[in-house]
Amino acid sequence: MRLVSLLSLPIAAALVRAAAYKGSQHKVKESIDAPPRGWVRHGPAPSDHTLELKIALPQPHFPILEKHLWEVSDPKHERYGAHLSKQEAEALMAPNPETLDEVSEWLASHGIEEEHLYRSSAQDWVTIRVPVSLAEEMLDTNYHIYTHSETGESIVRTTSYSLPGLLHEHVELIQPTTMFARFKAFKSTLHWANTVSSGSPSPTSGTITGPAGNQVNASCNNTITVSCLRQLYNAVDYNTSATNGNKIALTGYLEQYANDMDLQQFYQLENPTAYGSNYTFVSVHGGMNNQSYDAAGVEANLDTQFAFGLTYPTPGTFYSTAGEPPFIPDMVTPTDTNEPYSYWLDYILAQEYLPQTISTSYGDDEQTVPPAYAARVCSEFAILGARGVSLMFSSGDGGVGDGNPDPATQQCYTNSGLNRTVFLPEFPAACPFVTSVGGTVNIPETAVFFSGGGFSNYFPRPAYQDTVVSKFLDSLAPGIYEGLYNPYGRGIPDVAAQAYDFLIVYQGQEGYVAGTSCSSPSFASFVSMLNDARISAGQSSLGFLNPWLYSAGYAGLNDITEGNNPGCGTEGFNATIGWDPVTGLGTPNFEKLKALALA
């Protein structure tokens, strides 16, 4: 009898806690004034519609992890390059045991037991699949169908959700709730190689002088190839290793598939030595890589062809993360779309060994991402940096916002409902723990007109930017763009690379692509070469790049001083001497960077 009574105590306690949650008053955890511009609310979401809720638990030891990040990323620190292992990072990501118990009891009070949920490797995310009716009960909210007026896509979201007051300190955020970000690929329209290129009308024969003082084929002023980038950025004679452990990776979302036949045709065209080689495909959350020509993705083809073509024979990886289809109200058993970075981060952070360089060409306006979610995702990018990964993100293709210099037709408005005009920085490029890459065009290089740049409204300016960003702001005419941007925010981008008229193969045909989706994998390729050189010399990978770039690496970059990035009814910012919010610190001179990286 005594044994039975003792065993019953935990059960009784759990029942008491469950009753406490059932009876606890809900308090608003997160809310937004209104959905982002373009989203229109329709009817209530069907009660049996399935939501995959991701619950982020607090990481109380993250400040310690961040301290590690700054130390191992600072070339002047004695711990430079001493990156954390998976186990060390996870120990600093883990929630408090009390948090795990409280959240488990709350879920159990709604009938969700351990076998019905998924936990991340560090236990800091919990994922559950529940019908809308149960989600509304748990979160004291009402979900609706929202349709985007431009694209026609529909999603299920809410503008506010609540949690029992007892739970607030144990839950950082829950999504999908207030997240309306669309996370588009950064690219402009493909145009075919037999049409007139809109690049510089320069001669296509002979040579011109590149920024390193070397001769570059004149044709590179109209068509960017693998050879052009190696010439322009001074890496013609560098050969990477296939066996020293260095790797480069690319992320793919939104059903963007990399076509292998196109890749081989591209190799024959631009890097014959790579012909017959392949990459490692990794499916994340059910992501696929459909090999029919019809399914080929311009973005995925661009990324794989140039990144793997530039760095061959460095082993390459393509991560395809499933983005579930948009909600269609008349489907019998619909599932909902969820922001894809969380799935990819969940996967990649659980891996023992990571590629040293990763490029991503996707994002959306920072203001469409709830601040709590942006901060959490950004902190997980920091964890990758602490583990020795260099992360590159496209800075965006809208200049300071929408790419439109006409005040009468610009579309840069706040989500506050006041329709106030503001510049629109991009996320994740605004995260201070990634390297954001803007775009250039022509030789000599100038800023390309669509190069995304500006200042974050979420993230304060990091210390590594203080000197150069302050200098840029001091150079501006008094009062210019006052109220349109946050002068105390993280500056975007950090660096730049060519972003116009990249010759790719798509569905068996040659075509041109432009966008910072060109510049990010290109810059990442030269970073991968730097990692290759360091690893071959017995050194660590560079990891989080920015502290090195702003303190030493800038001396190996070509400063871009001409061009601007219009948008939001303005001409945007100007490229100028030193850092600027159009091209950052500049474009790579590989041989100079290599000497600095090996010093």
| Catalytic residue annotation | 299, 303, 517
Pairing of strands 390-394, 357-360: parallel
Q: What angle do CA 191, 196, 200 make, to 5 degrees?
A: 105
First to last CA, the chain: 73
Q: What angle do CA 188, 189, 190 make, to 5 degrees?
A: 120
| Alpha-helical segments (H) within 457-544 | 466-475, 516-536
Pairing of strands 280-284, 316-321: parallel
- From residue 89, how far is each of 130, 343, 349, 386, 554 by CA, in Å? 31, 18, 9, 8, 29
Pick the closest to residue 525 from 487, 488, 498 (CA basis): 498
Q: Encoding tokens for residue 321?
A: 């993360």
Pick the closest to residue 186 from 515, 500, 519 (CA basis): 515
Q: What angle do CA 237, 243, 247 make, to 5 degrees?
A: 80
Which residues fall within 8 angstroms of residue 342, CB to CB, at 6 or more apart? 54, 125, 175, 377
Which residues fall within 8 angstroms of residue 566, CB to CB, at 6 or more apart? 399, 400, 403, 404, 405, 449, 572
* Residue 496 · residue 565 · CB < 8 Å: no
Beta strands in 334-418 (DSSP E): 357-360, 362-365, 390-394
Task: Give the whole-angstrom CA distance, residue 45 versus residue 299.
Answer: 32
Beta strands in 260-310 (DSSP E): 280-284
